Structure 1
Amino acid sequence: MTKAFELPDKVAIVTGAGSGIGEASAQVLAGAGARVVVADLDLDNATRVAEQIDKDGGRALARRVDVADPASVTELVTGTVTEFGRLDIQVNNAGIMLRRPVLEISPEEFDQVLSVNLKGQLYGSQAAARVMEPGSSIVNTLSTIIDFSTAGTGSYAASKKGGEALIRTFAVELGPRGIRVNGVAPGWTESGITRGRHVNERGEFQQESFDQLAAKMTAVSPLGTVAEPIDSAYAVLYLASPAGRLLTGHVIRVNGGASMT
């Protein structure tokens, strides 16, 4: 039965794979047998992840990508096909969060968040779909914020909710071609984004305030826990593998029951 989760001879791209959920997803897909292109704006981090995958017995390449630039995304996809001859799995994971009260969000900031989080998923899905064959899979990273928002996250919430709508539209349009499109919506997860909220103006990480928020998020979950990057990575594997062959247009909420929509 475990063969349904194996990805022999498959080729995957993971954006935002230099850390957090993207890094874990790249490692899990490689562990399942896929050849993985580790893509990130920070090439040094992407290289570190790719080298670790190679050391663990997988096969990976590091590539720099700016997901807000459609030309950069297209170059990543075409380069992957040139290198490996195909593309079977596209994980559009790269994202940013800029916290600001809604009355203070500037046009420039709003555009920046949507360019990475929403347009990046549009460009990545478009470029991948143009080269994919039937049986391929696109997985986009959203957030539990699609179910409820919090103060200071207006631009982030708008980008992720828009991403949910894109998933459904892509699923409808690409379904006849045998390409599945789904999403993973992590709950509060210890990652670069969440840790970044607890760095003071001197660049010092505030462990106490981080622990207080982690405890608050734990209390929201019926399971009494918060997510780790690997939890979302396993959901990505399920959606990308033959085990998820009948899922399209769906969003898996990896949040310990914090939302159950």
Structure 2
Amino acid sequence: MRRTALITGASSGIGLATARLLRERGYSLALVARSADRLNDVAEDLGAFAIPCDVSDIDALPDLVAAVVSDFGSLDVLVNNAGVHHRGSMLRHSPEQLAQMIVVNTAAPIALTRAAADVMRPGSVVVNVGSLAGKLPVPGAATYSGSKAGIRFWALAAAEDLAERGIRIATVNPGPVDSGFLEADLANVTPMTFSQPMSTVEQCAEAVLRAIEADESPMEIDLPAASGRLATLGYVAPPLRRLLRPALEKRGAKVKAELMRRKGLSG
């Protein structure tokens, strides 16, 4: 029996790469994104069901799940990938922009998972696309770090609740990713972000697939793994984090400057 996957933020980046990979593996796909035109093009290319939706509209999420079940008869995999990041100091953004990050990155995945749990069968799985910023506070990304930490800790705790229905949950935590998500506001990406190796969207999609196919719950996959270990070390040993920060920022600044030069941007 063909399994059905619902992917949010599916019109580009990690979401699109995940959709392509799951299509190759024989999944039926329900794809969600705000941009209807782009989403419809992707869905047509992949033979998928397109559902234009802004996940920040929490009240619409139960209907989103119902539409998937109505069309496919089941929902076996939920990939909470949609995200938003207003970069730079929180003081340069409006209260509405800060709240949007919490709603899209934290509240929406929780609410969508809750709705999906009512229709998912035992053996189903939820995968959240988190961030290494959720494991270690990132200067210049305070609210984003908080939103990703929130979804990470929620997943670790929610695993027990979901296990009552035989549903697994996992979180994939990428560091910097070579995608439009970074390039959209490259000038305001913190140098610390570029201190770690960049992953491709395809590598992130492979990590999502590993999480889907694993038996562990809760499960976490960090990308790159070495950066995940460094983030954990920095979290449990703040003095070491403060000691390493100047060198990491210096390295990241060089990488950022070169990337901006290649993109034809001024620093």
Select 1:180's aligned residue among 149, 168, 184: 168
Matched residues, percent identical?
32
1:253 alignment counterpart: 222
Q: Which residue of 2 aligns with 1:147?
A: 135
Secondary structure at 1:258 match in 2? helix
Task: Report how far residue 159 of structure 1 moved.
Answer: 0.3
1:39 partner SS: strand
Distance in 2, Cα, partners of 1:111 & 1:102? 11
* In 1, Cα distance between equivalents of 2:180 and 2:114: 27
Q: Which runs of 5+ in 2 are unaligned?
A: 233-267
Partner of 2:3: 10
Take 2:109 and 2:70, find their aligned partners in 1: how far apart are those partners? 22
Cα distance, 1:256–1:174 mapped onto 2, change above 3 Å: closer
Question: Residue in 2 aligned with 1:204?
Answer: none
Deviates more, 1:86-95 or 1:41-50: 41-50
Give the match for residue 52 of structure 1. Answer: 45
Partner of 1:227: 199
Q: 1:106 Cα deviation (Å)?
A: 3.9
Cα distance in 2, alignment partners of residues 124 and 158 from structure 1: 19
More RCO (CA 8 Å, sep 6+): 1
Shift of 1:104: 4.6
Equivalent pairs, count: 230
Superposition pairs for residues 22-171 of structure 1, below 5 Å? 22-54=15-47, 60-171=48-159
Q: Deviations over 1:225-254 (max 9, x none)?
A: 42001111111111112xx02x11122112
Q: State the AA in 2 paired with 1:22.
A: G
**Counterpart-to-counterpart distance in 1, 2:69 and 2:59:** 15
TM-score, reference length from structure 2: 0.80
Deviation at residue 65 of structure 1 after TM alignment: 1.4
Deviation, 1:86, is: 0.4
AA matched with 1:250: M
Corresponding residue of 1:203: none
TM-score, structure 1 as length reference: 0.82
Task: For 1:249, give the aligned amino acid.
Answer: P
Task: Measure how far apart 1:181 and its partner are.
Answer: 0.8
Q: RMSD between aligned alpha carbons?
A: 2.2
CA distance in structure 1 between the aligned counterparts of 2:62 and 2:132, rounded to whole angstroms: 29
1:73-97 superposed Cα distances (whole Å, 9 cap, x missing partner): 2111100000010000000100000
| Structure-2 separation of matches of 1:252 and 1:32 | 20
**C-alpha displacement at 1:173, in angstroms?**
0.5
CA contact (8 A) 1:67 1:123 kept: no
Tell me by how many angstroms 1:256 deviates. 4.9
**1:144 touches 1:255 (CA, 8 Å); kept in 2?**
no
Tell me the CA shift for residue 258 of structure 1.
1.6
Distance in structure 2 (CA, Å) of the matches to 1:250 and 1:100: 30
3-state DSSP class of the match of 1:259? helix
Higher helix share: 2
The letter for the 2-side match of 1:101 is S
